[in-house]
């Protein structure tokens, strides 16, 4: 009739030290830095160098897929004019240029 009560161990569950938590957080911070932040910062730096190195007469590819030759660069407001062919010119922001193409690429298309 009488059922003995089961008691949990007197010690309780083992407690993780605070040091383990800091080690895990540090490990996650290192993974975040090397897998996310560092590659993105490298891409941004390369793109800024690309924008600074552009000059009149360079053939460029835009983010929208346009290929043209730079005819005018406005330094004060970061716009460039791209000649798509002899009759058409487009004004875009420098930020939208994704690549500077080798000379003669437009004629080979």
pLDDT digits (tens, 9 = 90+) for 23-78: 999 999 999 999 999 999 999 999 999 988 899 999 999 999 999 999 999 878 88
Q: Is 45 helix (H, G, I), strand (E, B) or coil?
A: helix
Question: 4: exposed, middle or buried (C-beta count within 10 Å: 0-12, 13-18, 19+)?
Answer: exposed
pLDDT band at 11 (very low <50, low <70, confident <90, very high): low
Contact yes or no for 64/97 (Cβ under 8 A):
no
Task: Count the neighbouring beta carbons within 10 Å of the beta carbon of residue 60.
Answer: 23
> What CATH architecture applies to the domain 55-108?
Roll (2.30)
Q: What is the DSSP letter of 90?
A: E
**pLDDT at 5 exceeding the cut of 90:** no
């Amino acid at each position: 009739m009488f059922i003995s009560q089961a008691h949990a161990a007197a010690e309780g569950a083992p407690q993780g030290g605070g040091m383990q938590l800091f080690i895990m957080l540090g490990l996650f911070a290192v993974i975040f830095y090397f897998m996310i932040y560092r590659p993105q910062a490298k891409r941004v730096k390369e793109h800024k160098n690309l924008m600074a190195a552009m000059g009149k007469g360079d053939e460029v590819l835009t983010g929208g897929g346009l290929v043209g030759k730079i005819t005018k660069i406005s330094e004060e407001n970061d716009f460039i004019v791209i000649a798509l062919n002899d009759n058409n010119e487009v004004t875009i922001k420098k930020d939208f240029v994704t690549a500077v193409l080798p000379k003669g690429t437009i004629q080979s298309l």
